[in-house]
Structure 1
Amino acid sequence: MTLTINSEIYSQLLSKYQPRIIQTEPENEEFLKIVEELLARQNLTTEENTILDLLVKLIEDFEDKHYQLNKSTPCSRMLHLMEAQDIKKESLVQVFGFLEVVDKVINGELEITSQQAQELGNLFHVDSSLFLNE
């Protein structure tokens, strides 16, 4: 079954969202917000689904190029999440006990323990395995 796209409606959506090759992090964030908005809706039209697919592909291409997760470390993932969620290092004292320990973890002088990884997972709302060496 082939779905037919109404070109007039699709053109309006293209004009509204203006999808393009993503060059910067702010552009990526902009398109991520649009994707979230579309995903929150129920019963998307064929045209909206087509735009959603296009935006997801553009985001994936940008992130594949700029985020090499296989080269990341538990510390770099923690720092990325801190930046993305606007969490200051002082907020990590609840996980590590002391600001000096937070600094040592950030500087790579100390590894994150499994208990700390669990607490970081809860804090950032992600899987705790992100904070453990494989």
Structure 2
Amino acid sequence: MSSNYIHEANAEYRRIRKRVPLGVLHSEEEYKNAVAVLDEIIDEIGQNENHPLAEMAEALALFIHSYEEAHFSLPESFGPEILKNLMEEHRLKQSDLPEIGSQGVVSEILSGKRELNVRQIAKLAERFGVSPAAFIPAPPDKKRKLTPGKK
């Protein structure tokens, strides 16, 4: 890579970084802003799993998740467990979630045989009013936390 390329990339990153919190979140204000931006990105992405902003949404969700892990004390869970809990709380059956797929697809997600994709995560976050980060798989050495609640 040439130094000119790095200079241009740096300028573009700084421009984007002014609007999108692509970095470690240090305050509740930064956290709330990141969640709001992620919601806007997900609104823009809609059903398009190949949208150019999908990768940005995933990166932002990881920063949000990291902040939630550090600042919110919640039951340890990850995507399928969170979905099971939300389904129980709302008294839903697998067939009540057509927005993420057929009953068979929902079953595979709940059993861990299939991971949620960006479109499904967006739909679930919207339906249940939780951060999309709650449904993003945590790294193998980390446990997922549900949603922010009590500190």
TM-score, normalised via structure 1 length: 0.45
Larger Rg: 1
* Higher share in helix: 1
Q: Which has the higher contact order (CA 8 A, sep 6+)?
A: 2
Q: TM-score, normalised by structure 2?
A: 0.40
